[in-house]
Chain A
Amino acid sequence: MTWLAAHGTEAIFWWFGSLAMVSAALCITRRNPVFSGLWLIVTLFSIAALFVILDAQFIAVLQVLVYAGAIMVLFLFVIMLLNLGRQSSTDMRGPTGAGFAAGLGALLLFQLRILRHAAPPEAVTLPAGSVARLAQEQGLVASIARPLFDTYLLPFEVTSILLLAALVGAVVLAMRKL
């Protein structure tokens, strides 16, 4: 019991983390793009769980709603629309391509190994648990909403214009006739 109390959070973190990694690996290796999409959804859910463990509950919900709920649905829509579900041949590259992919990937991972020792400097680090306390004091949504509409108002507005542009662009691109 004491082990769980002491390492419980970490255990759950690693459970969901491994789930994310495994499902991501499966995602990139399925022949059928529908299955790739589904495994990606599993990955997104796992990441949402990780968000919760990391004191970002609102973001976790947004992840599920927006990413898994809207973006992936859009992906599956397009896959179905183009009738890519039935693939006779795989679209994965041959041994050379796979070799390059694996090689470069390994290289990248090797270069990122220094993240093991990454830690922000003491001067800018907040005391442990301060985000959780902030959420408790102001409420989950308010702790995010307040800076959003205060300090980051401009990016917020610009993002809305971006979304508008994307909307128009997507409609125009997908039209059959202008």
Chain B
Amino acid sequence: MPPPGFRLDLLWAVPALPLLGFVGNGMLALTRPKAKTAVSIIGVGVLVLSFAAAVAAVAGFVRLHPAAPLVFRYWEWMPVGDLRVDYALELDYLSAVMILVVTGVSALIHVFSVGYMGEDPGYARYFAYLNLFVFFMLTLVLGSSFPVMFVGWEGVGLCSYLLIGFWFNEKINADAGLKAFVVNRIGDFGFLVAMFLIFRHTGSLDFDAVFAQAPTAFTAGDAAITATTLLLLLGCTGKSAQIPLYTWLPDAMQGPTPVSALIHAATMVTAGVYLVARCNVLFALSPLSSATVAGVGALTALFAATIALKQWDIKRVLAYSTISQLGYMFLGVGTGAYAAGLFHLVTHAFFKALLFLGSGSVIHAMHHAYHATHSHEDAQDLRNMGGLRHHLPWTAGLMWIATLAIAGIPPFSGFFSKDEILGAAFARGTAEPIWLAYWVMGIAAALLTAFYMTRLMLYAFHGPNRTGEAERAHLHEAPWSMTGPLAVLGLLSFAGGVINVPALFGGHAFLHRWLAPVTAVADQMHPEVALPAGVEWTLVAAAVLVAGLGIFGAVRLLRLEAPVPARVAPPERGFARVLWKKWYVDEVYDAIIVRPIQWLSREVLWKTIDARLVDGVMVNGSAATVRVFGWVGSRLQTGQVGSYVLLFVGGVLLVLWAALR
């Protein structure tokens, strides 16, 4: 039991502060929704304090340098038979990274939201939900057992629903929120069943106990562990928007842009990656599942990148980009390079949040312009933008930094993280060929990533402006409350690579060594394959070449004069149409899954079972039965002595018969 240091005991404060913010902002939302200053102070304040508490906790943790994770049990939640679940938080090397990223990026986005959502009537409600989200996310990453993590898991799903459908007065927004929640639920089912299996085999649901007993409780590679981990993967595909449960994420762009930045780029969608990294022991015990994780990741990375090539809504491009980059993270953790996957998680949080917030700046400006001229054009369509670098220079510059990072150009952060993942995949490919296929998919996706991101930047910020004569005068840069966080994220996107510079470049691979205790057992089972330096340099060169090719290709191939404003743009044709229509996946899901279930619900469950059986037979039927019995009973009350005597004699005969048997 670690000595309770002053700072480490305050671990509960890290999630408690945002919860407090939720309560405060929630009360304000209900009673005085116009109190903007108070809401801003509470909403941003608790996040900043939470970040400070997280830093203090990690600092204390570093000083203590414990061998095992620190578990703080706060109260007994479910003692049931053999199962004992406590509300307990755990601080180890993995959760330390996560809380810093979550609180840090969240704080920046909260500051951005003050400017972005300043004129929205639901301001207080927004901050309440956002604070609640951070609370749940922190519960997720700090939980020391599967059930506590699951509370956070479900909670972030709930907040995602609330925030996507923030402007619920329009049906499309409410539908998007509902879609996100329902698709997530499918994944949650997988998570739950996996929990049941874990408990059945190991007798516990606490992380320490499970991971300690897993090597003996499960036989490596057999059906039990494979089933368990594949079910966990199902949960991850739901939460982290991988194939087949990614369809909710593009629709989730209906929510406010800071929400997209926080939840659907930096934090919630990374929960799946965190889960795989946390359960590395389980995944290491099942090579088939690990390969599946990596395969799903690689395929998703490529698939989503193809769709992003032909999207015109700026946020949709970024949404598919997120799905694609999450695929990279899964490729990383599936390969066994958990540090690489988490490294990409961290760098992606920086540059993707920057991209989303930048697009928020753009959308903010476009909205103002259209509002001023009372136009009803789509403020998010790339075809309505163009040449915005003259009007939003800071945003443009910072977003270019993020674009170079995501494309993987050195020395930006994305280069180091992406390169490490691809290197790990190739290294494993020398032993098993399937990983080489994954590497190829990863490289192809890198090419496409560079291409579509450059396309986004060129269409939005370069070339002629298509917004309209009158609107152009109203386009202006965002206020400092919005560009400030962008600048911080820009710096992190540029320099964030320093936390894990590999030995190849003379670095110390700090993150890798930091996470080594967490992945020790898994690393022992599947030791890393070391590549000779020459091969490594070749891979690096290939990755940079591909990225450069993508950017160059976009610059040369795209004619910036070609796009026309959205309202007069012709529909896409041919293969472009397929990509624009997202490979028709939503339509296929609708036909195969949604419509049959709707039919089943309406015809069978509602009309037959609910209306006829429950209402008709059970409820009305029992009433009718009682009425019939009552009628029969009332027939007996004739008021005639004669009939009473008849019944009397009948009764006597009955008694006589019974007595004389």
Contacts and interface: CB of A to CB of B under 8 A. Distances in A.
Interface string B629-661: 000000000000010001001100100110010
Residues of A contacting B: mostly: helix
B650 A111 contact: no
Contacts of B657: 111
A111 B646 contact: no
Interface in A100-120: 100, 104, 107-108, 111, 114
Contacts of A100: 646
A92 B657 CA distance: 28
A114 B660 contact: yes
Contacts of B649: 104, 108
A103 B653 CA distance: 12
Contacts of A86: none
Interface in A113-151: 114
Given A104-B650, A104-B653, A111 B642 contact: no
A177 interface: no
A107 B660 contact: no
Nearest to A93: B642
Nearest to B646: A100
10 contacts: A93-B642, A104-B646, A104-B649, A104-B650, A107-B653, A108-B653, A111-B656, A111-B657, A111-B660, A114-B660
A106 B646 CA distance: 14
Interface residues on A, range: under 10
A112 B103 CA distance: 95
B647 to A, nearest CB: 11
Nearest to B659: A111
Interface residues of B, number: 8
B132 to A, nearest CB: 77
Interface of A: 93, 97, 100, 104, 107-108, 111, 114
Contacts, number: 16
Contacts of B646: 100, 104
Nearest to A112: B656
A93 B641 CA distance: 13
A111 B656 CA distance: 7
A26 to B, nearest CB: 22
A93 B650 CA distance: 18
A107 B646 CA distance: 13
Contacts of B660: 111, 114
A134 to B, nearest CB: 33
A107 B657 CA distance: 10
Interface in B603-645: 642
Nearest to A115: B660
Contacts of A97: 642
B235 to A, nearest CB: 73
B595 to A, nearest CB: 63
Residue of B649, B650, B657 with most chain A CB atoms under a 10 A cut-off:
B649
Contacts of A93: 642
A97 B641 CA distance: 13
A105 to B, nearest CB: 9
Contacts of A114: 660
A149 B656 CA distance: 35
Contacts of A107: 653
Interface string B243-277: 00000000000000000000000000000000000
Contacts of A108: 649, 653, 656
Q: Which 6 A-B residue pairs are closest in the complex by CB-CB distance? A: A111-B656, A104-B649, A107-B653, A108-B653, A100-B646, A111-B657
Nearest to B652: A108
A117 to B, nearest CB: 12
A145 B646 CA distance: 40
A93 to B, nearest CB: 7
A95 to B, nearest CB: 15
Given A104-B646, A108-B653, A111-B657, 6 more contacts: A93-B642, A107-B653, A108-B656, A111-B653, A111-B660, A114-B660
Contacts of A111: 653, 656-657, 660
A107 B649 CA distance: 11
A151 B649 CA distance: 35
A61 B48 CA distance: 117
A106 to B, nearest CB: 11
Contacts of B653: 104, 107-108, 111
A99 to B, nearest CB: 11
A116 to B, nearest CB: 13
A111 B653 CA distance: 8
Interface string B429-464: 000000000000000000000000000000000000
B657 to A, nearest CB: 6
A66 B490 CA distance: 125
B602 to A, nearest CB: 54
B641 to A, nearest CB: 13
Contacts of A104: 646, 649-650, 653
A111 B660 CA distance: 8
Nearest to A97: B642
A93 B646 CA distance: 12
A100 B645 CA distance: 11
